[in-house]
């Protein structure tokens, strides 16, 4: 008699929380390790998952982090552009005020 076993999609086998903790655990181990050689297989074995699975999770997390950072870089670039525009306006205003001050100083003291 054959049993019909349902194949579970490996992507659905582990929760998102477990995946994130695994990636965090790997990243922490890399930071504290003297050498990165063998860290991923060791962490994967401790968690009961394959080395390839952990590698895929780390790569996906890195890609996601990269996307988030690139969005904040765009926001930063926009803010810098806006501040440069304000700075240019303030410089123009300052020049106008210097010119006006010189003009009125001449009115009050003709020796200048």
Q: How many CB atoms lie within 10 A of CB 43?
A: 21
CATH architecture under which domain 10-108 falls: Orthogonal Bundle (1.10)
Task: Give the residue extent of every domain in the chain.
Answer: 10-108
- By CB neighbour count within 10 A (0-12 exposed, 13-18 middle, 19+ buried), where does 41 fall? middle
pLDDT of 74 reads: 81
Query: Mind listing the pLDDT tens digit for each residue in 23-52?
Result: 999 999 989 888 878 899 999 999 999 999
Across the chain, what does the average pLDDT equal? Answer: 85
What is the pLDDT averaged over residues 74-85?
90
Of 43, 68, 57, the C-alpha closest to 15 is 57
* Residue 9 clears pLDDT 90, i.e. is over it: no
């Amino acid at each position: 008699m054959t049993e019909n076993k349902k194949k579970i999609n490996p992507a659905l086998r582990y929760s998102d929380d477990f995946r994130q903790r695994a990636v965090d655990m790997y990243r922490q181990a890399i930071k504290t390790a003297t050498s990165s050689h063998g860290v991923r297989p060791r962490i994967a074995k401790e968690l009961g998952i394959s080395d390839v699975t952990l590698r895929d999770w780390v790569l996906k997390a890195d890609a996601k982090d990269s996307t988030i950072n690139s969005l904040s870089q765009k926001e930063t670039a926009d803010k810098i552009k806006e501040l440069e525009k304000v700075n240019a306006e303030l410089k123009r205003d300052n020049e106008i005020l210097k010119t006006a001050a010189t003009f009125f100083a001449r009115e009050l003291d003709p020796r200048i």
